[in-house]
């Protein structure tokens, strides 16, 4: 389903093929719509994809997955969790759902990721966890962060919503020594299930707790234990759980998206490398190619204006929009969002690098269905914008 028109160019577009559609139809006809055989298959395929034995628990969003991760790690009122200011509000909102407080921190101006020094400086006696965000799909310096967390006895959750396909020092994101990693299958992510997410952990106890809490606090092991003796209606509720399970309809899409993920990554890499070379002489800062011997997932391609740009970020967005090119900004930082700003009395001078990056940044289109002609057009309009 290639888009044959050059114009308009959306910011993002899901890449859904006939395989996904046929699988969804098969599920709709099967008589089983909610969590069932397709979810089980999708979870098994996900473990195979990562390539190492681990636990993969599907959920109906990454936000749900992050919430479950914090719950399983016992984060509670009085605790503090470190989160970068340059992220989507979901990374931080879940901390408040547990009654804990968010410690927002500044970013590294080169990678746009949180780094060792800023994390270390913000650790207090109350710090119980760090939510690491691999911004745009570039892995954070995980060896340093994990070692720091270990030395302070702090848990690490990776918000890998941008980072499915990414790796760090040759190891896939999802297989590092953090406590939990959460991926997103939202419509514009590197693969989609419409809405959905996957929680990955090596810890069998955390996996068990997340499985129970994603579906009403129902203990499936008890269900299985009594199934033979009593009958299949029997279950035990061991906690006040959530309704965060994935449906077989969503998993049907996921099964095929996952198979296509290596191909998607190759296309994303190719688009990114063309942008990197063909935009290199413009008065802009291109994404860091620092990759720690890993792979950038290229969920986003974020450019930043510099002092020589002459036009403002908003003028550039307006110019591109007039040319029918969709763009976005990732993100208006949390310290500037009313809720977070007011709750923690945050000011811009506390986040100099995040603030500066935000004022200058724009995300340009990067999606697998983009044609070469469309990319040519975007590149030439970016050149025109700076003339």
332 as an active site residue: the answer is no
CB of 384 vs ligand PLP, minimal distance in Å: 30
Give 235-293 as a DSSP string: -EE-S---B-PPPHHHHHHHHHHHHHHHHHHHHHHHHHHHHHHHTTTSSEEPPP---TT
DSSP H or E stretch at residue 56: strand 55-59
Binding status of residue 301 toward ligand PLP by CB under 6 A: no
Asked if 109 and 357 touch (Cβ cutoff 8 Å), the reply is yes
In the DSSP assignment, the letter for residue 114 is -
Choosing from 80, 159, 248, 355, the residue that interacts with ligand PLP (CB under 6 A) is 159
- The nearer residue to ligand PLP, 90 or 346, going by C-beta atoms, is 90
Distance CA 63, CA 314 (A): 29
Binding status of residue 162 toward ligand PLP by CB under 6 A: yes
CB of 241 vs ligand PLP, minimal distance in Å: 18
Binding status of residue 365 toward ligand PLP by CB under 6 A: no
Phi-psi region of 57 (alpha: psi -120 to 50; beta: other; left: phi over 0): beta
Binding status of residue 197 toward ligand PLP by CB under 6 A: yes
Candidates 4-12, 100-108, 158-166, 206-214; binding stretch for ligand PLP (CB under 6 A):
158-166
Phi-psi region of 157 (alpha: psi -120 to 50; beta: other; left: phi over 0): beta
Contacts of 186 (CB under 8 A, 6+ apart): 61, 62, 161, 192, 195, 196
CB of 63 vs ligand PLP, minimal distance in Å: 3
Binding status of residue 62 toward ligand PLP by CB under 6 A: yes
Closest CA to 302 of 227, 244, 234, 354: 354
- The nearer residue to ligand PLP, 330 or 374, going by C-beta atoms, is 330
- The nearer residue to ligand PLP, 159 or 219, going by C-beta atoms, is 159
Binding status of residue 370 toward ligand PLP by CB under 6 A: no
Number of residues that bind ligand PLP (CB under 6 A): 14
Choosing from 83, 90, 156, 253, the residue that interacts with ligand PLP (CB under 6 A) is 90
Where on the chain is the footprint of ligand PLP (CB under 6 A)?
Answer: 61-63, 87-88, 90-91, 133, 159, 161-162, 184, 186, 197
Query: Which residues belong to the active site?
Result: 189
């Amino acid at each position: 389903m290639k888009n044959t028109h050059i114009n308009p160019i959306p910011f993002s577009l899901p890449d859904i093929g006939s395989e996904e559609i046929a699988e969804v139809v098969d599920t709709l006809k099967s008589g089983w719509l909610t969590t069932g055989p397709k979810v089980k298959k999708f979870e098994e395929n996900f473990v195979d994809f990562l390539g190492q034995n681990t636990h993969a628990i599907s959920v109906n969003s990454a936000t749900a997955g992050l919430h479950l991760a914090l719950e399983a790690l016992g984060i509670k009122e009085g605790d503090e969790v470190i989160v970068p200011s340059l992220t989507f509000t979901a990374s931080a909102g879940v901390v408040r759902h547990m009654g804990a407080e968010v410690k927002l921190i500044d970013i590294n101006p080169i990678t746009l990721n949180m780094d060792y020094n800023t994390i270390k400086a913000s650790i207090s006696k109350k710090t119980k966890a760090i939510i690491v965000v691999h911004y745009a799909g570039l892995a954070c310096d995980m060896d340093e962060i994990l070692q720091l967390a270990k030395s302070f006895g702090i848990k690490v959750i990776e918000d890998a919503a941008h980072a499915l396909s990414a790796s760090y020092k040759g190891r896939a994101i999802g297989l590092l020594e953090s406590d939990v990693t959460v991926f997103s299958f939202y419509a514009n992510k590197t693969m989609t299930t419409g809405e959905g997410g996957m929680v990955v952990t090596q810890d069998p106890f955390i996996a068990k707790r997340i499985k129970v809490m994603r579906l009403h606090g129902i203990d499936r092991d008890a269900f299985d234990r009594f199934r033979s003796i009593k009958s299949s209606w029997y279950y035990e509720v061991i906690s006040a759980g959530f309704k965060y399970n994935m449906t077989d309809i969503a998993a049907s899409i996921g099964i095929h998206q996952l198979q296509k993920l290596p191909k998607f990554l190759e296309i994303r890499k190719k688009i990114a490398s063309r942008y990197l070379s063909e935009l290199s002489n413009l008065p802009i800062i291109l994404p860091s190619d620092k990759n720690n011997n890993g792979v950038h997932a290229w969920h986003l391609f974020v450019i930043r204006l510099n002092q020589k740009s002459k036009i403002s970020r908003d003028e550039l967005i307006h110019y591109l929009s007039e040319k029918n090119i969709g763009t976005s900004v990732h993100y208006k930082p949390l310290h500037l969002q009313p809720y977070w700003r007011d709750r923690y009395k945050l000011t811009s001078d506390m986040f100099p690098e995040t603030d500066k990056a935000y004022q200058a940044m724009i995300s340009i289109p990067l999606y697998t269905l983009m044609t070469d002609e469309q990319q040519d057009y975007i590149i030439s309009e970016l050149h025109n914008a700076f003339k």
